[in-house]
Structure 1
Amino acid sequence: MPRCYLLLSALLLGACSPTPPPTDAWLGRWVGVEGLVLQIDPAADGKPGHYRLAMQYSLDDHGTFDGQADGNAITFTRPDGAHQLVPGNGAATGLKWLADKQNCLVVQEGEGYCRE
């Protein structure tokens, strides 16, 4: 009888563990063109799917923004409006310097970040 309780407890604990969102695989540093960079870290609140995005997103603009997983994207707002980071390749960024890259995150045409 005790083995049944042990097995049931293990199954219940496993069922309670949330599956991390696919966007957790994006944690770390991503590089764009001309000094643009994106650093994705877990948010300080520790909630699954919440992120801290540190970005140099133009030659003159940079900041740190709160992001949240939304399916296979991270949504965030910065001074130029609401945006989504979505997976893509270098061609999807619209930037010839990233065209041969395969592992990228795209904000909008002309703005993307890649890593090897």
Structure 2
Amino acid sequence: MKTSRCSLAALLIALVSVAGCSERGNASRKNAESPPAAASAPRTDEWLGKWTGPEGTFLELAGGHGRYEVTVQNLDGPRKFEGRYVDGGIAFERDGTPEIIRATTGAETGMKWLADKKHCLTVRKGEGYCRD
């Protein structure tokens, strides 16, 4: 009787140990598959809002979490595009040409009107928008 109780106790301990390891394995796998909620919003979400350029031009970003509505106001008027997070920037297509919005300084925009600015976004050299 004593032996069967010991065997039963040993079996229960073994089962609890295996179950505990299995749960830890699943938790580790879940953490590797899905990042914490705070990490899921890309840095580009900080760019939401309006960015101004010279002569009444602007860039406005709405949305978030990797999906954006990009509005570009140039001398011909505003145009809207669908954007998405790509490699630290926001990609969109304009007139069949792929574009990527990147964080830059005013000098990096290539525009003399923005050269002294610090916090800017550039679509391409000569097309930039700033907040400061």
Q: Which has the higher contact order (CA 8 A, sep 6+)?
A: 1
Query: Please, which of 50, 56, 66 is the counterpart of residue 35 of structure 1?
Result: 56
Query: Please, which of 55, 60, 64 is the counterpart of residue 72 of structure 2?
Result: 55
Give TM-score scaled by structure 2 length: 0.68
Q: Which runs of 5+ in 2 are unaligned?
A: 1-29
Give TM-score scaled by structure 1 length: 0.77
SS at match of 2:40: coil
Q: Report the alpha carbon displacement of residue 54 of structure 1 after superposing the two structures with TM.
A: 1.1
Q: Tell me what 1:65 maps to.
A: 81
- Partners of 1:61 and 1:79 in 2: how far apart? 15
5 Å-filtered alignment, 1:1-116, equals 17=37, 19-42=40-63, 48-56=65-73, 58-79=74-95, 81-116=97-132
How many residues are matched? 101
Q: CA deviation digits over 1:29-53, x for unaligned, max 9? A: 100111111110006xxxx200001
- Partners of 2:78 and 2:105 in 1: how far apart? 23
- Partners of 2:106 and 2:36 in 1: how far apart? 38
Q: Report the alpha carbon displacement of residue 80 of structure 1 after superposing the two structures with TM.
A: 5.7
Match for 2:131: what amino acid? R
Q: CA deviation digits over 1:78-98, x for unaligned, max 9? A: 126210000100001111110
Larger Rg: 2
Match for 1:81: what amino acid? T
